[in-house]
Structure 1
Amino acid sequence: MFPAKYTHRTCLNASPEEVYKWHENPLALRKLTPEKDSVEIIKPAALQEGSVAHLRIPLLGCCLYVDWLAKLENVKPNKEFSDLQLSGPFRVWKHRHVFASVRHNKCEMRDEIEFIVPGGRIVHSVIYPFVLNRMKRVFKHRHKVLIDEFGEVQPEFLIEDTQKN
């Protein structure tokens, strides 16, 4: 089974260096995690190659919890890093965080996720819509936190003016 893909992007009124530095703060993950999700951050990962984060997350919104261990890899300061699930609720999970420089020293923050839910095709077809809806909600929250912190730049601001007066 091929991984499903989800991408969420926002243009922020800050440089990639500023946004990356904000993510280096050990409290960043707590700020980015929606409170109502009841995620317990047992151990945040330092933003360095090989560091491991340990989270405890509820399954199906009830009192059943699963430990999620994710290892940081491909750490390129001020540019990107990825977290790869070592164990947790997914069969496969890779989350790439990209801090791309765009016009006027602004940052396009992009979250690119590849995942496979546990079980076979039938299970996937049943739970995929729920997983995708939750993912959309979580990343909408995360990007709102970043917009509140740095401000948002509308995409048309980033387009070069090619008309001559």
Structure 2
Amino acid sequence: MRTFRHTFTVNAGIDKVWDFYTDINHLQVISPPGMQIRLVKTTHQKLIEGSEVWLTGILLTRSSWHSKITSLAPYRYVDEMLSGRFHVWKHVHGFRKVDGNNNTATEVIDEIDFELHYGMLGRIFEGYVYSQLEKIFAYRKQATIKALEKNI
């Protein structure tokens, strides 16, 4: 199993950031265009604990995945892949108010535990997956900042 961690700060209040990230449509705003993310089905437009989401897109190769929100509390939620490209995919989304003069900044924290299928063979490709996640999350950072800082 491998862990990927990415953090950044956006100049927006924590409630605004939380509302954005718990609306399932945020995925289409912050996902790189090359991933071609398409929401197939969701049990809830606004994420709650137990929400399930079915997506298609390009993640390594064209694939479909099914995830469930297994935990949700103010400013933190966890989505876990039930079926898809990974044997294990547990993504913890965290949001923390940043102390400062204007008190409107929020730290966005993503932590992903992942493991590919196929045991040892899958582990050979974890470094490649890690490098792809770095690119995806660099894009997500810029897209989040663009979406949330435009009307402060």
Does the CA-based 8 Å contact 2:67-2:79 persist in structure 1?
yes
2:53 corresponds to which residue? Answer: 53
Q: Are 1:10 and 2:8 counterparts? A: yes
The one of 76, 83, 86 aligned to 2:79: 83
Distance of 1:143 and 1:121 partners within structure 2: 32
Distance of 1:67 and 1:133 partners within structure 2: 21
The one of 90, 95, 100 aligned to 2:96: 100
Which amino acid in structure 1 is aligned with residue 50 of structure 2?
G
Distance of 1:117 and 1:72 partners within structure 2: 20
Deviations 1:54-85 (A, max 9, x none): 01233644xxx4320000122113x1111011
Which amino acid in structure 2 is aligned with residue 112 of structure 1?
E
1:157 corresponds to which residue? Answer: none
1:27: Cα distance to partner? 2.1
The one of 66, 70, 75 aligned to 2:67: 70
Distance of 2:148 and 2:25 partners within structure 1: 16
2:112 corresponds to which residue? Answer: 113
SS where residue 132 of structure 2 aligns?
helix
Larger C-alpha radius of gyration, 1 or 2?
1
Deviations 1:103-128 (A, max 9, x none): 13321101100011111223312x11
Which amino acid in structure 1 is aligned with residue 69 of structure 2?
L
% same residue? 28
Q: Pairwise CA RMSD of aligned residues?
A: 1.7
Structure 1 segments (4+ residues) deviating >3 Å: 58-61
2:139 corresponds to which residue? Answer: 141
Give the alignment of 1:114-129 within 5 angstroms: 114-125=113-124, 127-129=125-127
Distance of 1:43 and 1:114 partners within structure 2: 24
Which consecutive unaligned segments of at least 5 residues does structure 2 have?
none
Relative to structure 1, is the Cα distance of residues 59 and 32 closer, same or farther in structure 2, using a 3 angstrom cutoff? Answer: closer
More strand by percentage: 2
TM-score (norm: length of structure 2) = 0.86
